[in-house]
Amino acid sequence: MDAPTTLNPSDLAAFYRTALLEDVMPFWMRHGLDREQGGFLTALGRDGTVIDTDKSIWVQGRGAWMFATLFNTVEAKQEWLDAARSGIEFIRRHGAREDGKLYFTVTREGRPLRMRRYVFSESFAAIANAAYAKATGDARAAADAQKFFATYLDYSFKPGRMEPKVDPQTRPMMGIGPHMMGIATAQELRLHLGDIAVGERTCSQWIDWSIAQVERYFLKPEHEALMEVVGPAGEVIDHFDGRTLNPGHALEAAWFIMHEGKLRGDQKLVRLGLTILDWMWRRGWDEEYGGIFYFRDLRGLPVQEYWHDMKFWWPHCEAIIATQLAWSLTGDARYAAWHRQVHDWSFAHFPDREMGEWYGYLHRDGRVSVQSKGNMWKGPFHLPRMLWYCWRLAEESAKGAP
Amino acid sequence: MDAPTTLNPSDLAAFYRTALLEDVMPFWMRHGLDREQGGFLTALGRDGTVIDTDKSIWVQGRGAWMFATLFNTVEAKQEWLDAARSGIEFIRRHGAREDGKLYFTVTREGRPLRMRRYVFSESFAAIANAAYAKATGDARAAADAQKFFATYLDYSFKPGRMEPKVDPQTRPMMGIGPHMMGIATAQELRLHLGDIAVGERTCSQWIDWSIAQVERYFLKPEHEALMEVVGPAGEVIDHFDGRTLNPGHALEAAWFIMHEGKLRGDQKLVRLGLTILDWMWRRGWDEEYGGIFYFRDLRGLPVQEYWHDMKFWWPHCEAIIATQLAWSLTGDARYAAWHRQVHDWSFAHFPDREMGEWYGYLHRDGRVSVQSKGNMWKGPFHLPRMLWYCWRLAEESAKGAP
């Protein structure tokens, strides 16, 4: 996976396609499928050896979505459909507590380990089921996608439904995460199931609502920043948590919004996404060592998290998508340069050229911190999603090019 | 704070004393007291500027213990007693929820922010009140010390009292932390209040019981390791959490146990502490860059925590104490060499020679990761406790020397 020497869209498309289909997905097909108990095993050592058999429900949904998406958009390969089904069926059999809320982790055979307050297992299960319903016509998958999204919306946005971490009487806070994931989940449901209603809004209306909330409460022109958490009227909370910016997260939000603008032909949405990209690229890019910092403080004060300056795989995947999408939507040379910059840094530091896939966690200067290829968070998702999205985008640009 | 050039106990004593009384405590006196609202403010930037006004209840107890201990053992300085009282009174006024359980964090003025499952706020409040009762004869402090320790024991050891993180039906686990902190808390209560009964055991009996549990369930001769968590019969849990070793934590346990052996003249306890030190020093010392790794995997597999190789201030403080105590108890040159090794590395990398105190969080190679001097965990505790303990121990060695 060496970086291409030109920014020619056809070369880029071929590069991303090759990395996806000849390196990354084969790694997960070879090592990440539990052929005995079903579902995905993603706690893998450098060479793909399973180093922990516990299963992440996030990863079951993310993996099933990725395999179903490749089946739907690249080629109707039986092994991809089987892998998607394996994740879907594992969630059906073992994912949920009696009340329907999904676990965070379970054992290899599916016995409950951890339940968490929040509902990201549900958002990933929703997109997995939506893509799987499209692939198979399976009615239960279509129904489950809606059911999981309804649970996600309920816990994320109904006041008092989720137990808060910080006393809401003393310091009411709201996070951008639920809006961001709500946008991406609604986009996937709409793509596969049509613009259906879930709860009191259609998918497009949920997207409108969350983007409006992001713009109204989390976007701070006076700071040129997108906040992670704010007070109930969008107040900046001038404490560690309130000041902590997550540039990778913001760049992911930026491309979700640009993608929506592109689908609708809505330049206002595209400009909003570009604004977030512009501000958070400047906040996140490490001018000294290259790469995207994990956390930054709004006022440049010390960040509480001691590992704030590490370089994780996923913010780089999101930055590669955001910059390429911005470039394709605007033709602006600045975005081409940023795309090249983060692409080159990422492909110079994250890939394991000997054993395949990417390392997940690098020190600030790009040295590998952890040799493993996956864990309860890192599985077949951010990296293959980026390669798949950027391949298709580059191909589109190549076709549209004069 | 340059390292002394010899291992002469008198020089060491003077070195630690100077660092404690002329650098570290003045830093906290100058910057860490909330002269308006009471208690300690410990989220301080490099120069001591307050960067977050939220207050940690752990730190209120730890700080009050440290100031009261200096008052009790070094000099009856009014400003130290006042600082201790300020922490004690802040906990009295604002520390507890209605049911008496202490918060983890509150606002500057004491409004509740976070409650956590576990009860380390209680263990620190217990030692603070015990030392403050000794300093003042205050009856409420003596009663509170017992009350907080009783709550600590109840939540830590009564089955089902603390909500477990991992489903106990699927994977019952027990941690070493409650035993370790139980030993240190019981030692402080006994020192100041006598060998009183708290719940069904006296302080000495709680110490005996916890040391017996550590030896029986957590110490693994076949691996030459002290585990952090094990199954209910001491089984190694071969998953990420179960395999994760915390050498700094183990070295702290080692010196708590050696200290008990020294007090009682019990060579069996001293040998147990030395065994833990021997094994966990080898597990923890970084042969390449020096310093003590934060986490290690029992089987040498990748650790799940991506910041596993960072060098934190507190494991180094604990290692300095453990090696010096082992040296003073055995006269073994190996422990003198280890003490010198970790002392030199620590004093070469952690101190801020310009603004005082220590940085808390270094990268593996010793470069500073976070410029701040404190936060909700780092306050006037591990570093001054080490300087205080090692000063007195070196002085004792100097006096006992031929």
Backbone angles phi, psi at B203, to 5 degrees: -55, -50
Nearest to A175 by CA among A165, A185, A184, A161: A165
Q: Do A304 and B375 touch (CB under 8 A)?
A: yes
In chain B, which residue's Cα lies nearest the Cα of A313? B306
Query: What angle (nearest 5°) sits at the alpha carbon of residue B155, between those of residues B154 and B156?
Result: 95
Collect all residues of chain B within an 8 Å Cβ-Cβ radius of residue A376. Answer: 304
Quick: pLDDT tens for B149-187.
999 999 999 998 999 999 999 999 999 999 999 999 999
Quick: pLDDT tens for A112-149.
999 999 999 999 999 999 999 999 999 999 999 999 99
How do strand B296-297 and strand B311-312 relate by DSSP bridges? unpaired
Collect all residues of chain A within an 8 Å Cβ-Cβ radius of residue B357. Answer: none
| Band (A401; pLDDT cuts 50, 70, 90) | low
* Three-state secondary structure readout of chain B: CCCCCCCCHHHHHHHHHHHHHHHHHHHHHHHCECCCCCCECCEECCCCCEEECCEEHHHHHHHHHHHHHHHHHCCCCHHHHHHHHHHHHHHHHHCECCCCCECCEECCCCCEEECCCCCHHHHHHHHHHHHHHHHHCCHHHHHHHHHHHHHHHHHHHCCCCCCCCCCCCCCCCEECHHHHHHHHHHHHHHHHHCCCEECCEEHHHHHHHHHHHHHHHHEECCCCEECCEECCCCCCCCCHHHHEECHHHHHHHHHHHHHHHHHHCCHHHHHHHHHHHHHHHHHHECCCCCCECCCEECCCCCCCCCCCCCEEHHHHHHHHHHHHHHHHHHCCHHHHHHHHHHHHHHHHHCECCCCCCECCEECCCCCECCCCCCCCCCCCCHHHHHHHHHHHHHHHHHHHCC
Q: How many residues does chain B have?
A: 402
Quick: pLDDT tens for A213-265.
999 999 999 999 999 999 999 999 999 999 999 999 999 999 999 999 999 99
Upper half-sphere CA count for residue B191 (Cβ side, 13 Å): 22
Collect all residues of chain B within an 8 Å Cβ-Cβ radius of residue A307. Answer: 306-307, 310, 369
CB contact at 8 A, B191 and B204: no
CB contact at 8 A, B383 and B42: no
Upper half-sphere CA count for residue B94 (Cβ side, 13 Å): 26
- For residues B335-344, one letter each, b for 16 or more C-beta atoms within 10 angstroms of the residue's C-beta and e for the rest, the string is bbebbbbbbe
The CA distance from B306 to B327, in Å, is 34
The fraction of chain B above a pLDDT of 90, given in percent, is 97
Q: What is the pLDDT of residue B2?
A: 53
Query: Across the strands, what pairs with A351?
Result: A358
Quick: pLDDT tens for A16-63.
999 999 999 999 999 999 999 999 999 999 999 999 999 999 999 999
For the entire predicted model, the pTM comes to 0.97
A165, A328, A400, B216 from A70: Cα distances, Å: 37, 22, 23, 52
Q: Which contiguous run of DSSP H or E holds residue A67? A: helix A57-73
Q: Do A307 and B308 touch (CB under 8 A)?
A: no
Q: Do B167 and A306 touch (CB under 8 A)?
A: no
State yes or no: pLDDT of A7 exceeds 80: no
A323, B213, B232 from B159: Cα distances, Å: 53, 15, 11
CB contact at 8 A, A350 and A316: yes
Q: How many CB pairs under 8 A join A and B?
A: 110
Q: Do B239 and A52 touch (CB under 8 A)?
A: yes
Q: How far is A208 from chain B (nearest CA, A)?
A: 33
Say what the ipTM of the complex is. Answer: 0.95
Collect all residues of chain B within an 8 Å Cβ-Cβ radius of residue A302. Answer: 45-46, 51, 370-372
Q: What is the pLDDT of residue B4?
A: 53
Say which range, A47-51, A202-206, B6-10, has the weakest mean pLDDT. B6-10
Q: Do A107 and B171 touch (CB under 8 A)?
A: yes
The CA distance from A314 to A249, in Å, is 9
The fraction of chain B above a pLDDT of 70, given in percent, is 98
Q: Considering only CB atoms, which residues of chain A are within 8 Å of chain B?
A: 43, 45-46, 51-54, 106-107, 111-115, 165-167, 169-171, 239-240, 301-304, 306-310, 312, 360-361, 363-364, 369-372, 375-376
The shortest CB-CB distance from A369 to any of B43, B51, B306 is to B306
Q: Which contiguous run of DSSP H or E holds residue A123? A: helix A120-136
Q: How far is A362 from chain B (nearest CA, A)?
A: 8
Residue given tokens 């990778």 in the structure block: A248
In chain B, which residue's Cα lies nearest the Cα of A106? B170
Angle between helices A313-330 and A333-349 (to 10 degrees): 160
| Band (B130; pLDDT cuts 50, 70, 90) | very high
CB contact at 8 A, A84 and A132: yes
Query: What's the token pair of residue B12?
Result: 């060491």
Q: Do B107 and A53 touch (CB under 8 A)?
A: no
Q: Do A239 and B166 touch (CB under 8 A)?
A: no
CB contact at 8 A, A149 and A198: yes
State yes or no: pLDDT of B17 exceeds 70: yes
Q: Do B114 and A167 touch (CB under 8 A)?
A: yes
- At residue B354, what is the residue type? E
B186: left (phi over 0), alpha (psi -120 to 50) or beta: alpha
The CA distance from B172 to B232, in Å, is 6
State yes or no: pLDDT of B48 exceeds 80: yes
A173, A188, B20 from A159: Cα distances, Å: 11, 25, 49
Q: How far is B350 from chain A (nearest CA, A)?
A: 14
CB contact at 8 A, B348 and B340: no
Q: How far is A56 from chain B (nearest CA, A)?
A: 13
